[in-house]
Amino acid sequence: MSAHHRLGDMTLAGYLEALASKSPTPGGGAAAAVTLAQSAALGSMVIAYTEGKPKWAAHAALHAHAAAFLVQARLEALALADRDATAYRALNALWGIPREARAGDPRWKPALDEAIAAPSAIADLACATIVLLARLDGCTSTLLASDLRIARMFADVSLEGALANVEVNVPLLDCVVTAESVRGACTSRRALSGTHGVAGMGRTGTGS
C-alpha cells in the first residue's frame, strides 16, 4: 500500500483487493481498525435515527455526546489503520536481521515498539467505543436495536483483533517487565469488553 493511498481514501473494492493481496499490508491490524470505523459508523446511524424523537428526549445529552464521539472515533480508527500498516511495514522490513543481532540494530527497537503501540492504540479506541455503545443500549430507537448490537459486535471484534496483533509481538520484547506490563494491559482491556461488550448481552436482550 503506497503512502499516498490512505485506507480511508480507497474504494471498498480497492481496500478488499489490497487486503486479499500477497502483501504484508494492509493486514489484520488495519482490518481491526477498519472494523472499528464501521462500528462507529453504525453507531452514528443509530443516533441519527434517534435524535429529535420525543420518545427519547430524556437522553438528548447522551445522544449529542455519542454523535460527536462516534464521528471522531470513525476518523481516528481510519488514521490508526494507516498507522498500523506503516508500523508493520517497518517491522516486516527488518525480519531478515538475525535474532541475536536485533538488539544491536538501532532500527529494531523503535520498529518493534511502534508495532506494539499502533495496535494498542486501536485497542484503546475500541475500549472507549465499547463503553460508549453500551451506554446507548435502551436509550435509542428500538427499530435500530440490531444495528446497535452489530456495532457493539464490531467493536468487540476490533478489540480482539488489535490485541492479537499486540500479543504476537510481545515475545519479541527483550525486557520481561515490559512484556508483562503489555500482557497485563491486554488482560484489562478484555475485562472491560467482558463487562460492557456484547458478551454481557443475551441473544436478544440488552446488556449494560
CATH of residue 102 = 1.20.120.680
pLDDT of residue 125: 98
pLDDT of residue 207: 35
- What is the rounded average pLDDT for all residues in the chain? 92
Residue 194 is part of which domain span?
Answer: 25-200
Q: What's the pLDDT tens digit per position in 58-94?
A: 999 999 999 999 999 999 999 999 999 999 999 999 9
Residue 11 lies in a domain: no
Q: What's the pLDDT tens digit per position in 88-124?
A: 999 999 999 999 999 899 999 999 999 999 999 999 9
Residue 4 lies in a domain: no
Task: Indicate the pLDDT class of residue 203, thresholds 50, 70 and 90.
Answer: very low
Residue 124 lies in a domain: yes
Task: Indicate the pLDDT class of residue 200, thresholds 50, 70 and 90.
Answer: low
Q: Which of 162, 179, 83, 167 is nearest to 125 (CA)?
A: 162
The CA dihedral of 6, 197, 199, 144, to the nearest 10 degrees, is: -80
pLDDT of residue 201: 59
The three grid cell numbers given for residue 36, joined into one nine-digit string: 472499528
Residue 62 lies in a domain: yes
Query: What is the tally of structural domains in the chain?
Result: 1
Residue 54 lies in a domain: yes
Q: What's the pLDDT tens digit per position in 7-47?
A: 888 999 999 999 999 988 899 999 999 999 999 999 999 99
Question: What value does the mean pLDDT take over residues 178-195?
Answer: 95
Residue 42 lies in a domain: yes
- 3-state SS string for the chain: CCCCCCHHHCCHHHHHHHHHCCCCCCCHHHHHHHHHHHHHHHHHHHHHHHCCCHHHHHHHHHHHHHHHHHHHHHHHHHHHHHHHHHHHHHHHCCCCCCHHHHCCCCCHHHHHHHHHHHHHHHHHHHHHHHHHHHHHCCCCCHHHHHHHHHHHHHHHHHHHHHHHHHHHHHHHCCCHHHHHHHHHHHHHHHHHHHHHCHHHCCCCCCCC
Task: Indicate the pLDDT class of residue 208, thresholds 50, 70 and 90.
Answer: very low
Residue 161 lies in a domain: yes
Residue 10 lies in a domain: no
